[in-house]
Amino acid sequence: MKQTTFLKKIRESQLFWPLVAWALILLFNAIVAPGFFKLGIIEDPVYGKRLYGNLVDIFNNGAPLMLVAIGMTLVIATGGVDLSVGAVIAISAAMGAVLINPALGNQLITNDILTRNATNTPLPIIILADLAAGTLCGLWNGLLVSRAKIQPMVATLILMVAGRGIAQLITNGQIMTIYYTPYFWFGNGYILGLPVSIYIVTAVLLLAWLLVRKTAIGLFIESVGINTKSTYYSGINEKNVKLLAYTFCGFCGAIAGLILSSYVHSADGNNNGLNYELDAILSVVMGGTLMTGGRFSLLASVIGAVVIWTFTVTVYSLGVPANALLAAKAVLVLLVILLYSDYSRRLTNRLFERRGSQHDRAN
| Residues contributing to the site for other proteins (CB under 8 A) | 81, 148-151, 153-155, 157-166, 168-169, 173, 269, 278, 281-282, 285, 291, 321, 323-330, 333-334, 336-338, 341-343
- Minimal distance in Å, beta carbon 204 to other proteins? 25
Q: Minimal distance in Å, beta carbon 123 to other proteins?
A: 28
For residues 23 and 26, give the distance between their C-alpha atoms in angstroms, rounded to a whole number: 5
Cβ nearer to other proteins, comparing 90 with 259: 90
User: What's the closest the beta carbon of residue 326 comes to other proteins, in angstroms?
Assistant: 3
Give me the least distance between CB of 257 and other proteins, in Å please: 17
User: Could you give the dihedral angle defined by the CA atoms of residues 13, 289, 328 and 275, in that order, rounded to the nearest 10 degrees?
Assistant: -140
274 φ/ψ angles, rounded to the nearest 5 degrees: -65, 135
DSSP single-letter state for residue 323: G
Nearer to other proteins, 149 or 214 (CB): 149
Side chain identity at 328, as an amino acid letter? A
What's the 3-state SS for 177-226?
ECCCHHHHHHHHCEECCEEHHHHHHHHHHHHHHHHHHCCCHHHHHHHHHH
Q: State which residue, 94 or 131, has the beta carbon closest to other proteins.
A: 94
Q: Residue 39 or 318: which CB sits closer to other proteins?
A: 318
Shortest Cβ 193–other proteins spacing (Å)? 35
Contact present, 90 and 269 (Cβ < 8 Å) = yes
CA distance 357 to 363: 10
**Please, which residue, 160 or 258, has the CB nearer to other proteins?**
160
Nearer to other proteins by C-beta: 206 or 337? 337
Minimum CB separation of residue 226 from other proteins in Å reads: 17
Contacting residues for 258 by C-beta, under 8 A, at least 6 apart: 92, 93, 96, 127, 130, 131, 186
